[in-house]
Structure 1
């Protein structure tokens, strides 16, 4: 099994890269999707989040109100750390379970937005960083997610710096060009992974 850690700042294009890798045969384990799964109604994760942050972070349907929770945790670093302490161990446990099910010859790509921040760089055979300048991140967050510049800057500031991610990288995928450019870079990465 080849274990790949994939990360990049918010708005860098990790989703596009994981889609391309999945098309080439990778088993992709998406930490964001797992982070949603571990706080579904009826889970211990949701119970712990409600215990820490109160019922105001729940929607009328009993599900986590992500914008309400985001407004709290992105404005308060301790609150963000508390949330991470609830979510991250549950996500890691579920990711390990999915990886074990992938099989011994699989190329398993762990899409982990906070990989550098949570000091997981050493856990993978190869660390891939999807990279764009901060200005591009802000533009994309405004265009695709409707965030204001202040909201985008707050989200970016809550993550590792671009320089920290690049320093941890074994492979950097520049995503400032076209989707075709990105696909060519992913093809080169895939050849490298398949030859391991």
Structure 2
């Protein structure tokens, strides 16, 4: 099994790269998707979040109100650490189950936005970092409905490009076109993935 850790800042295009790798046969384990799963209504994860932050982080139908929770944790580093302490262990446990279920010859890509921040780089055979210039990231985040202040706060709450590069085996630049990104993914697959598979 070849385990690839995929990371990059918010708005860099990790999801696009994950999709391109999946199209080439990789199994993608998405930490954000798992985080939604472990905080779904009725889970012990959601119960722990409500215990830590109160019922104001719930919608009327008792689901997690993500914007309300984000408003709390992105404004307060202590609150963000508390949330991370609840969510990260649950996400890691579920991700480990999904990886264990993959066949021994699989290419498993773990899409982990906070890979650097949580010190997980050494857990992977390869670390693949996706970057995009700040203006491109801000434009993409605005397209998702985030205000510029909110987008800048989220970017500032994550590792810097320099910190991600320090653990990267390969860096992809996603400031250009999808075709340019695809060419970089093809090169990564040919030069780093295919040889490792034998």
Question: How does the TM-score come out when normalised to structure 2?
Answer: 0.97
Q: Which residue of 1 aligns with 2:86?
A: 86
Q: Which residue of 2 aligns with 1:123?
A: 123
3-state SS of paired residue (1:29)? strand
Separation of aligned partners in 2, 1:194 and 1:3? 13
Q: Which residue of 2 aligns with 1:34?
A: 34
Q: Which residue of 1 aligns with 2:51?
A: 51
Q: Which residue of 1 aligns with 2:101?
A: 101
CA RMSD, Structure 1 to Structure 2 (Å)? 0.7
3-state SS of paired residue (1:18)? helix
Q: What residue ranges of structure 2 are gaps of 5+ in the alignment?
A: none
Separation of aligned partners in 2, 1:163 and 1:150? 22
Q: Which residue of 2 aligns with 1:174?
A: 173
3-state SS of paired residue (2:101)? helix
Deviation digits for residues 65-98 of structure 1 (CA, Å, limit 9, x no counterpart): 0000000000000000000000000000000000
Q: Which residue of 1 aligns with 2:135?
A: 135
Separation of aligned partners in 1, 2:2 and 2:8? 20
Q: CA deviation at 1:102?
A: 0.8
Aligned length: 195
Separation of aligned partners in 2, 1:179 and 1:136? 13
Bigger shift: 127-136 or 59-68?
A: 127-136
Q: CA deviation at 1:135?
A: 2.3
1:16 aligns with 2:16: yes
3-state SS of paired residue (1:195)? helix
3-state SS of paired residue (1:61)? coil
Deviation digits for residues 99-140 of structure 1 (CA, Å, limit 9, x no counterpart): 011110000000000000001111100000001122221121
Q: Which residue of 2 aligns with 1:160?
A: 159
Q: CA deviation at 1:154?
A: 0.2
Separation of aligned partners in 2, 1:76 and 1:20? 35
Q: CA deviation at 1:57?
A: 0.4
Q: What residue ranges of structure 1 are gaps of 5+ in the alignment?
A: none
Separation of aligned partners in 2, 1:28 and 1:146? 26
Bigger shift: 186-195 or 117-126?
A: 186-195
Q: Which residue of 2 aligns with 1:188?
A: 187
Q: CA deviation at 1:175?
A: 0.5
Q: Which residue of 2 aligns with 1:148?
A: 147
Q: Which residue of 2 aligns with 1:63?
A: 63
